[in-house]
Amino acid sequence: MTLSTDDVKQIASLAYIKIDEDETKAVLAELSDIFKLIETMQAVDTSGVAPMSHAQDVVQRLREDRVSESDQHELYQSIAPQVEEGLYLVPKVIE
């Protein structure tokens, strides 16, 4: 697989990271090297092997349905970039 600058732009767009035109080339070169390393695993025959998502073979524990949290919005909003009337402010959301 070869990455293109368009791929890099597309990934950056999906990841919501602004990337300048002149950065694109350098990023492409680095990513291409990394993918060369990564692709060495693709030769392995993994037919019949189940993907391993977790380090331990355990099942999800369930939480009792109970309200355990109280209102602390003033504390939590004290570290927010911009709040007003208890709301987090962002540039206008257009739907």
Partner 1 sequence: MQWEIVIGLEIHAQLSTQSKIFSGASIAYGAMPNTQACIVDLALPGVLPVLNQGAVERAVKFGLAIGAKINSPSIFARKNYFYPDLPKGYQISQYEFPIVEGGNIRIQTGETEKDIRLTRAHLEEDAGKSLHEDFHGMSGIDLNRAGTPLLEIVSEPDMRSSAEAVAYAKILHALVRWIGICDGNMQEGSFRCDANVSVRPHGSEAFGKRCEIKNLNSFRFLEKAIEFEAERQIEILEDGGSVRQETRLYDANKGETRTMRSKEDANDYRYFPDPDLLPVEIKPDWIARLQETLPELPQARRERYVSDFGLSAYDASVLTGSRELSEYFEATVKQLPAQAKLCANWIMGEISARLNKTDMDIAACPVAPEALAALLSRIDDGTISGKAAKTVFDGLWQGEMDQQVDAIIDAKGLKQISDDSAIEQQVDAALAANAQLVADFRGGKEKAFNALVGKVMKATQGKANPAQVNAALRKKLSGQ
Partner 2 sequence: MLNDSLKQLAKRLAGKEVSSVELTAEFLGRINQLNPAYNAFITVDAEKSLEQARAADRKIAAGEAGPLTGIPIAQKDIFCTQGWLTTCGSRMLSNFVSPYDAGVIERFNAAGAVNAGKTNMDEFAMGSSNENSFYGPVRNPWDINAVPGGSSGGSACAVAARMTPAATGTDTGGSIRQPAALCGISGIKPTYGTVSRYGMIAFASSLDQGGPMAKSAEDLALMLNVMTGFDARDSTSLQREAEDYARDLEKPLAGLRIGLPQEYFAEGMHADVARAIEQALDEFRRLGAEMREVSLPNSPLSIPVYYVLAPAEASSNLSRFDGVRYGYRAESYQDLQDMYRKTRAEGFGTEVKRRILIGTYVLSHGYYDAYYIQAQKVRRLIAQDFTRAFTQCDVIMGPTAPSVAFDLGEKSSDPVQMYLSDIYTSAASLAGLPGMSIPVGFGEKNRPVGLHIIGNYFAEARMLNAAYQYQQATDWHRRMPDV
Site for partner 2 in 51-90 (CB under 8 A): 51-56, 58, 60-61, 63, 72, 75-76, 78-82, 88, 90
Neighbours of 8 (CB within 10 A): 21
Q: How far apart are the first and last CA of the chain?
A: 37
Pattern 63-82, binding to partner 1, x per CB under 8 A? xxxxxxx-xxx--xx----x
Q: Which of 42, 36, 33, 32 is nearest to 7 (CA)?
A: 32
Phi, psi of 61 (to 5 degrees): -85, 145
CB of 74 to partner 1, least distance (A): 10
Residues that bind partner 1 (CB under 8 A): 14, 16, 53-54, 58-69, 71-73, 76-77, 82, 84-95
